[in-house]
Amino acid sequence: MSFKRSLLNTAVGIGFAAGLASVTAAETITIATVNNGDMIRMQGYTNQFTAETGIDVEWVTLEENVLRQRVTTDITTKGGQFDIMTIGMYETPIWGAQGWLVPLDDLSAEYDVADILPAMAGGLSYEGTLYAAPFYGESSMIMYRTDLMEAAGLEMPDAPTWEYIGQAARAMTDRDNEIYGICLRGKAGWGENMAFLTATSNAFGARWFDEEWNAQFDSEAWANTLNFYVDLLNEAGPPGASNNGFNENLSLFQQGKCGMWIDATVAASFVTNPNDSAVADKVGFALAPDNGLGPRSNWLWAWALAIPAGTNNEAEAKQFIEWATGKAYIELVAANEGWANVPPGARTSLYENPNYQAVPFAKMTLDSILSANPLNPTVDPVPYVGVQFAAIPEFSGIATEVGQEFSAALAGQQTVEAALAKAQAITTDAMEAAGY
């Protein structure tokens, strides 16, 4: 009977567990990472790293929300479970300021720190010290279906306005054939709909806080942003848009159901990959829209590798970071999978490489990254740093709750005014609790 056998296994197992559990091989590093395509690909090449250095790598691959929860718990309690954590531009300066991360100021000369795009290096530093090395960097841009635009008799400019996007989206929508003019993030979360909406609000002249840290959701600019967004998605978006995040929209776009999609520049290589995308040869790119006020609606983000302070394997961890975010890795991927599939947005040299310049989305990605300005993201001055977030510890909690209100407004469960009023109350309350 299988039951008895499993009992036996168990008895043996407990013995093992007691003995094995605390023993970790000296040359093994544990890396927590997110289940994005580029990260999964990197895992496939890990054995090359092990062959070169003799260091074994243990991967803990988690979905984004689970990952963030897991690594935050670990770093705040100094749990020491991971030698390398995959984190973003939001966490890095906050954790760096607390002294929780190992400064990456002694990387080797051949790694060439100066080659990291200044926008990325800036966002991953605290007071001028680099705390995380970008694996890939991204901004956001418009990805659109050239065939549908043509069929609608339109032509996409390189730098369109929101007004034009609204027209184009409505013109392309064909609900009977499940073609939706525009796919945008609606799923609640500070890294989901709020990343998009905060970046968009910049173009509408809105801001999160005034210089005294007062919440600004009662401003007219926010009302304009949210009304525009809700109307647009209701008229030209897919059903259930309020549950769609990056991955859901990627899936829709790859299936050919979106006319336009404004999202992360890294998606460009997924939607143009014929293995995954049904519309690979019909995709065009343009800068994220603006409203003529100065800022465009594109964000700036990097998934980066950082070393928690206190790890026993600091030297090995640094070796891995140099390998994974260095120039050689890019060439390794290029040689095996083509230039379109290398991790983008991290290094200047990549964009100077003629091979990469031939990739259709390379220029637009770089232009998008260069046009985002985390230090001065809004029309009116703000006390915070960050384009689609405010780099304060309270932001993720507040924005996730606010995101749920906005998501409910998109779903038609409450009015835009009600959602903004609640957002204002939530933000004011939370900022008070944090002692601002």
Partner 1 sequence: MARAISPQRKFLTTGAAWAVGLLIFFPILWTILTSFKTEAQAIASPPIFLNFDWTLENYAVVQERSNYVRFLMNSIIIAGGSTLLGVIIAVPAAWSMAFVPSKRTKDILLWMLSTKMLPAVGVLYPMYLIFIKLGLLDTRTGLVVVLMLINLPIIIWMLYTYFKEIPGEILEAARMDGANLRSEILYVLTPMAIPGIASTMLLNFILAWNEAFWTLNLTAAQAAPLTAFIASYSSPEGLFYAKLSAASTMAIAPILILGWFSQKQLVRGLTFGAVK
Partner 2 sequence: MPPARKVIDMATKASRSAARIMMAPAVVLLLGWMLVPLTMTVWFSFRTYLPLRGGDQGFAGFQNYARFLTSSAFWPSVYTTLLIVGGVLVITVCLGVLLAILLDQPIWGQGVVRILVIAPFFVMPTVSALVWKNMFMDPVNGLFAHLFKFFGAQPVVWLTDAALPSIILIVSWQWLPFATLILLTAIQSLDSEQLEAAEMDGAPALKRFWFIALPHLGRAITVVILIQTIFLLSIFAEIFVTTQGAFDTRTLTYLIFQRITDSQNIGLGSAGGVYAIILANIVAVFLMRIVGKNLDA
Binding site for partner 2 (CB under 8 A): 65, 69, 72-73, 76-77, 94, 98, 178, 187-190, 238-240, 242-243, 252, 257, 393-394, 396-398, 400-401, 403-404, 407-408, 411, 413, 422, 425-426, 429-430, 433-434
Q: Which long-range contacts (CB under 8 A, 24 or more apart) does 173-181 make?
A: 173/235, 173/236, 173/259, 178/257, 179/148, 179/256, 179/257, 179/258, 179/259, 180/236, 180/237, 180/238, 180/252, 180/257, 180/258, 180/259, 181/236, 181/237, 181/258, 181/259, 181/260
Q: Would you say 58 or 112 has its CB closer to partner 1? A: 58
How many other C-beta atoms lie within 10 A of the C-beta of residue 264? 27
Report which DSSP code applies to 375.
Answer: T
Of 49, 75, 82, 131, the one binding partner 1 by CB under 8 A = 82
| Six-digit token string for 286 | 């343009």
Spatial CB neighbours of 225, under 8 Å, sequence gap ≥ 6: 197, 200, 201, 204, 206
Helix, strand, coil content of the chain in percent (nearest 5): 50, 15, 35
234 makes contact, choosing from partner 1, partner 2, none, with CB < 5 to 8 Å by partner type, with none
Q: Is 282 in the site for partner 1 (CB under 8 A)?
A: no
43 makes contact, choosing from partner 2, partner 1, none, with CB < 5 to 8 Å by partner type, with partner 1
52 makes contact, choosing from partner 2, partner 1, none, with CB < 5 to 8 Å by partner type, with none
Q: Would you say 270 or 299 has its CB closer to partner 1? A: 270
Residue 297 CA to residue 206 CA, distance in Å, equals 11
Of 45, 62, 167, 370, the one binding partner 1 by CB under 8 A = 62
Task: Please provide the distance, in angstroms rounded to a whole number, between the alpha carbons at the two ends of the chain.
Answer: 64
Residue 415 CA to residue 408 CA, distance in Å, equals 9
Least spacing, CB of residue 370 vs partner 1, in Å: 28
Q: Would you say 46 or 404 has its CB closer to partner 1? A: 46
Q: Could you say which residues in the range 140-169 bind partner 1, by CB under 8 A?
A: none
Instruction: Give the total of residues touching partner 1 (CB under 8 A).
Output: 53
Write out the H or E segment, with its range, that includes residue 382.
none
Of 63, 150, 211, 352, the one binding partner 1 by CB under 8 A = 63
394 makes contact, choosing from partner 2, partner 1, none, with CB < 5 to 8 Å by partner type, with partner 2
Q: Let me know: does 275 contact 52? Beta carbons within 8 Å.
A: no
Give bridge partners of residue 263 from the DSSP assignment. 141
Give bridge partners of residue 130 from the DSSP assignment. 125
Residue 240 CA to residue 244 CA, distance in Å, equals 7
| Six-digit token string for 159 | 């730098």
Residue 47 CA to residue 29 CA, distance in Å, equals 13
Least spacing, CB of residue 389 vs partner 2, in Å: 13
Of 26, 40, 358, 375, the one binding partner 1 by CB under 8 A = 40
Of 45, 50, 53, 58, the one binding partner 1 by CB under 8 A = 58
Q: Would you say 269 or 424 has its CB closer to partner 1? A: 269
Q: Is 47 in the site for partner 1 (CB under 8 A)?
A: no
Q: Which residue has the tokens 């691959």?
A: 61
Least spacing, CB of residue 17 vs partner 1, in Å: 4
Q: Let me know: does 199 contact 388? Beta carbons within 8 Å.
A: yes
422 makes contact, choosing from partner 2, partner 1, none, with CB < 5 to 8 Å by partner type, with partner 2
Of 115, 147, 210, 276, the one binding partner 1 by CB under 8 A = 276
User: Ramachandran region of residue 30, left (φ > 0), alpha (ψ -120 to 50) or beta?
Assistant: beta
Q: Is 70 in the site for partner 1 (CB under 8 A)?
A: yes
Least spacing, CB of residue 71 vs partner 2, in Å: 11
Q: Is 315 in the site for partner 1 (CB under 8 A)?
A: no
Report which DSSP code applies to 397.
Answer: H
Binding region for partner 1 (CB under 8 A) out of 52-60, 160-168, 339-347, 413-421: 52-60
Q: Is 98 in the site for partner 1 (CB under 8 A)?
A: no
User: Strand pairing of 300-306 and 258-264?
Assistant: unpaired
Residues at the contact surface with partner 1, assessed by CB under 8 A: 1-3, 6-7, 9-11, 13-14, 16-18, 20-22, 24, 30, 32, 35-37, 40, 43-44, 58-66, 69-70, 73, 77-82, 245, 247-248, 250-251, 254-255, 270, 276-277
